[in-house]
Amino acid sequence: MSPPVEQLDYIFKPKSMAIIGASDNIAKWGYMMVDRPLRTGYQGQIYPVNPQGGTIAGLSTYRSVNDIPGPVDLAVITVQASQVPHVMQECVDKGVKGAILISAGFAETGFQGNALQEKAMTIAAMGGIRCVGPNCMGIWSSAACLNNAFDSAPKPGRIAFISQSGTFGGYMADMAGTKGYGLRTFISIGNQADLTMADYIEYLSYDNETGVIILYVEGVKDGRRFFDVCRETLKKKPIILYKGGSSPAGARATMSHTASIAGSDLVFQSVCRQLGLIRAEESFQTFDLAVAFLAQPLPPGKRIGVLGTGGQGVVSTDACQRLGLEVPELDMETVSVLKKLLPPHAPLPTNPVDFAGSYRTAMDEADVVETLLKLDYIDGIISNVPVNPLVWSLKLDQISSEIQDKIKKLTDEGTKRFCDLPRIYHKPIICVRWYSDAKKDPVADTLKESGIPVYDTPEQCARAMAALANYSGLRRSQEAS
């Protein structure tokens, strides 16, 4: 790990931090920056700093960062912008190594704010302090259980999320939490006066607990470095991004938001394609795509087998082909094998394979999926969630407990076998559920726990499979060169 990357450990793995501008007013950032890490599991030392003294959230305060008796790794700064240069000099004198500048009123406000920002950053650079922000909303780092960005700590996971917007990024992170997606890191990067998005990507590229990186981008500072870092990082892990400011009006809005120049979207899209960056069309697609990378193997190609009933199979096939995936017709020997696994009235299983709405168990569906995965011209599977008759039967009260026990056993065994198939054949499986959360099915929960993504629509499944296939192609080309 390079020395610049090691410096960021003082931000994401601090053993102590000072909250400069700490307040006992619960409506102010100065209170939240003390309260949030205190409530959500941070184990390091927290030192509130306020010239008035007293206590905040039960902690004794210090009138200056230099009054703190022990070392301070990280300073979280919430004072007014005009005070930041003076505070930064105090941090330099104390030997602080990292800073998160929540304070706004800098380059995003115009010429005077930009001059103030440059002054503060010059002091920080001379003292060896690396800075997040300013004009940001904090971070979450599961490596240190450090949370000052959210009222409640996110679920730990393997997704790193770097956002150029604090509020919008926080909203997306909250949505991810409600869907059960875990975060390794969240970074609200603000104006990027010192540390840029490229620096964070480089840092996360060395983090073994980060499985995939998500970016919300408005404008790129130092484009050459950004793309060079992405190129190297993509050799280790996928990067998924959503870009704001792609329209002329949106590009204008980014300047007043985080002092960013959005640039030409056509040029940006061209570079993304060249590098292999995965660009989402909608904001939350980023997380839906990311979850597919966390536990599924990369497909060896773009040829997909589809299992589903009626229109589901048709829509899945159309979506795959629109995204550049292939849905190859099955050979006659395989068709003959599959016909024996399907009901007599089912259509010819040439791909997609259709159960024709008939009764079956998870074991039946595992048989069909395994038959497809054995084929050397099938690289991945899109399937419905295996049917659970105990959820879907309309006459369950007419089925004896003995038969229900037998169905449950077949469902449990079939589901386990279904979940094992990606590992056995080194090919991904992605599933679509065709019921609402009101009709809860433990089979879908078991699939998700095993790492098989479960989406709400065939189009989501196809997008996730296309992302896996495109990234797999990039990795193969990198290895061959």
Amino acid sitting at position 93: D
Residues near 190 by beta carbon (within 8 Å), at least 6 away in sequence:
101, 132, 133, 134, 135, 136, 137, 164, 166, 258
Identical topology for domains 154-295 and 296-480 = yes
- Assess whether pLDDT exceeds 60 at residue 258: no
> What percent of the chain is predicted at pLDDT more than 70?
91
Looking at the DSSP bridge assignments, the partners of residue 100 are 76, 132
Least confident of 3-17, 19-33, 74-88, 456-470: 3-17
Q: What is the pLDDT of residue 435?
A: 62
Q: What is the pLDDT of residue 411?
A: 87
CATH class given for the domain over 296-480? alpha beta
Q: What is the pLDDT of residue 259?
A: 47
User: Where do the domains of the chain lie?
Assistant: 1-136, 154-295, 296-480
Coil vs helix vs strand at 87: helix
- Residue 386, preceding peptide bond in cis (omega within 30° of 0): no
The CA-CA-CA angle for residues 175, 220, 158, to 5°, reads: 40
Q: Are 34 and 56 in contact (CB under 8 A)?
A: yes
419-451 confidence digits (pLDDT tens)? 999 999 999 999 998 665 545 788 999 999 999
308-322 confidence digits (pLDDT tens)? 888 999 999 999 999
Section 196-219 average pLDDT: 96
Residues near 471 by beta carbon (within 8 Å), at least 6 away in sequence:
234, 238, 276, 278, 293, 298
Query: What tokens were used for 138?
Result: 């904090």
Residues near 224 by beta carbon (within 8 Å), at least 6 away in sequence:
none
390-430 confidence digits (pLDDT tens)? 665 555 666 778 877 887 888 899 999 999 999 999 999 99
CATH class given for the domain over 154-295? alpha beta
Q: What is the mean pLDDT of the chain?
A: 91
85-140 confidence digits (pLDDT tens)? 999 999 999 999 999 999 999 999 999 999 999 999 999 999 999 999 999 999 99
Least confident of 62-66, 257-261, 292-296, 350-354: 257-261
Residues near 441 by beta carbon (within 8 Å), at least 6 away in sequence:
385, 388, 391, 433, 435
- Assess whether pLDDT exceeds 90 at residue 267: no
Question: At 214, phi and psi to the nearest 5?
Answer: -110, 135
CA distance 377 to 300: 10
Q: Are 94 and 72 in contact (CB under 8 A)?
A: yes
Q: What is the pLDDT of residue 256?
A: 47
CA distance 251 to 280: 18
CA separation, residue 340 to residues 344, 345, 401, 471 (Å): 8, 11, 29, 36
- Cα 68 to its chain centre, rounded Å, is 37
220-240 confidence digits (pLDDT tens)? 888 899 999 999 999 999 999
Q: What is the pLDDT of residue 22?
A: 98
Q: Per-residue confidence at 250, pLDDT binned at 50, 70, 90?
A: very low
Query: What tokens were used for 232?
Result: 């190297």
Section 144-163 average pLDDT: 97
Fold entry, domain 1-136: Rossmann fold (3.40.50)
Short-list 202, 217, 216, CA closest to 173: 216
